[in-house]
Amino acid sequence: MAHPMIAPSILSADFARLADEAARVEGSEWLHVDVMDAHFVPNLTLGLPVVQSLLAATDIPLDCHLMIDDPGRWAPGYAEAGAYNVTFHAEATDDPRAVARDIRAAGGKAGLSVKPGTPIEPYLEILKDFDTLLVMSVEPGFGGQSFIPDVLGKARAVRELVDSGELTLVVEIDGGINADTIEAAAEAGVDCFVAGSAVYGAQDPALAVRALREQAAA
């Protein structure tokens, strides 16, 4: 992998000190922000007002991962606010292309995410309308879960389409990424690695980011 990207997930950070926590991972390619609504997933985290404050507090491009129902209603607002990448779930909408179009019209990059049990084949055709594919390697909702290696087949399939020039997009993986799992994901062709507990659970988060990036590049 030429230049692996690391996206620390602030889900594992101290929510009372988000500006400081963003500063602790300076040098990361993206900062991953998990938005959960207690409907699409059982957990509840943060929404647009917190993202707006984070945008003012850091220069790291925000990678917003919307684990919410009705993304068509909410996703464009994140792009309008200035989030770099806005990813929503394929399972949450009947019309993912329309949502992607609205995110792009609002100035953001559009990402599609699939849960571990969701096949990628039905979506291959529409991926040309997206900038990112986020492959979930845990059930969305909580940090600190174990990596599900079965999902790597999806990353591999999309990597092939990118390498053959049929698609242009970032292949991203989220869930259970750490020193023990990142190499398998890199080998499957992942470009961008989300890591929550492996980064914020470390003594020195910036060092953890560099170590993961080096491992992915090896």
Residue 144, binding choice from Zn ion, ligand DX5, none, Cβ under 5 to 8 Å by partner class: ligand DX5
Examine residue 141 and tell whether it contacts ligand DX5 (CB under 6 A).
Answer: yes
72 to 16, 92, 130, 164, 177: CA distances (angstroms): 29, 9, 15, 31, 29
**CA-closest candidate to residue 130, choices 162, 153, 93, 101:** 101
**Is 9 annotated in some ligand binding site?**
yes
144: annotated binding-site residue? yes
Is-contact 195 202, C-beta < 8 A? no
From 34, 37, 69, 102, active-site residue:
34
Q: Which is nearer to ligand DX5, 55 or 68 (CB)?
A: 68
3-class secondary structure, 140: coil
- Binding track over 172-191 against Zn ion, x by CB under 5 A: --x-----------------
- Interaction between residue 195 and ligand DX5 (CB under 6 A): yes
Q: Is 120 helix (H, G, I), strand (E, B) or coil?
A: coil
Burial of residue 168 (CB within 10 Å: 0-12, 13-18, 19+) is: exposed
119 binds, among Zn ion, ligand DX5, none (CB under 5 to 8 A by kind): none
Is residue 213 near ligand DX5 by the rule CB under 6 A?
Answer: no
Cα-trace Rg, the chain: 16
What does the alpha-carbon distance between residue 174 and residue 194 come to, in Å, rounded to a whole number? Answer: 5
Taking contact as CB under 6 A, which single stretch among the options 23-31, 45-53, 118-126, 141-149 is the one that binds ligand DX5? 141-149
Residue 174 annotated as catalytic: yes
Catalytic residue among 63, 69, 174, 191: 174
Burial of 181 (0-12, 13-18, 19+ CB in 10 A): buried
Q: Is 191 annotated to bind ligand? A: no
Site for Zn ion (CB under 5 A): how many residues?
A: 3
Residues labelled as active-site residues: 34, 174
Show binding-site residues for a divalent metal cation.
Answer: 32, 34, 65, 174
Binding site for Zn ion (CB under 5 A): 34, 65, 174
